[in-house]
């Protein structure tokens, strides 16, 4: 069964790389290069996974996650936050904002595979 994913990162190379990795995990994934486009896109069809860079130009990833969690249409989309800034305070804040999991950049395939499986398992168990 193919899952759908939306990858949000203002760095096209990073977004495209994560899309390629997700495709190897049986996801139909597509990149979006801004949170505004991501939210607009999700109103036309919810992905089964949102991979979100938390440090984009002029954007607070925690605020984006809180916005998604407050929106009744988007609130249940699983969110995997990614960032090259993996300080404990940043990771804790992102998870408190509502991300399901966090991975440091550069995202490694094995870590992505395990984390996505964990997220989807937890989501289907609830």
User: CA 40, CA 47: separation in Å to the nearest integer?
Assistant: 12
Higher pLDDT pick, 44 / 100: 100
- Longest Cα–Cα distance of the chain, Å, equals 37
User: CA 55, CA 57: separation in Å to the nearest integer?
Assistant: 7
| Helices vs. strands in the chain: H and E counts, helices first | 5, 7
CA 76 to chain centre: 13
**Span 51-90, pLDDT tens digits:** 999 988 888 889 999 999 999 999 999 999 999 999 999 9
Whether 14 is in a domain gets the answer yes
Instruction: Say whether pLDDT at 108 is over 70.
Output: yes
In the chain, the number of structural domains is 1
Whether 1 is in a domain gets the answer no
Q: Confirm if 61 and 79 have CB atoms less than 8 A apart.
A: no
Q: Which residues pair with 52 in a beta bridge?
A: 8, 81
Whether 22 is in a domain gets the answer yes
CATH number at residue 106: 3.40.50.2300
Whether 84 is in a domain gets the answer yes
Give percent of the chain with pLDDT exceeding 90.
79
Whether 62 is in a domain gets the answer yes
pLDDT of residue 94: 97
pLDDT of residue 76: 94
Whether 69 is in a domain gets the answer yes
pLDDT of residue 57: 84
pLDDT of residue 113: 98
User: CA 41, CA 100: separation in Å to the nearest integer?
Assistant: 20
Which domain range does residue 56 map to? 6-125
Whether 17 is in a domain gets the answer yes
User: CA 10, CA 78: separation in Å to the nearest integer?
Assistant: 20
Residue 1's pLDDT band (cuts 50, 70, 90): low
Phi, psi of 39 (to 5 degrees): -65, -40
**Span 21-49, pLDDT tens digits:** 999 999 999 999 998 888 888 888 899 99
């Amino acid at each position: 069964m193919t899952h759908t994913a939306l990858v949000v990162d203002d760095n096209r190379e990073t977004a495209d790389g994560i899309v390629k990795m997700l495709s190897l995990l049986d996801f139909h994934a597509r990149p979006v290069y801004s949170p505004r486009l991501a939210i607009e896109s999700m109103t036309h069809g919810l992905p089964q996974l949102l991979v979100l860079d938390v440090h984009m130009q002029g954007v607070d990833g925690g605020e984006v996650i809180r916005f998604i969690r407050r929106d009744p249409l988007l609130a249940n989309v699983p969110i995997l936050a990614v960032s090259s800034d993996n300080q404990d305070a940043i990771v804790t804040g992102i998870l408190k904002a509502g991300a399901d999991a966090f991975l440091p950049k550069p995202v490694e395939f094995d870590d992505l595979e395990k984390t996505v499986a964990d997220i989807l398992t937890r989501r289907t168990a609830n």
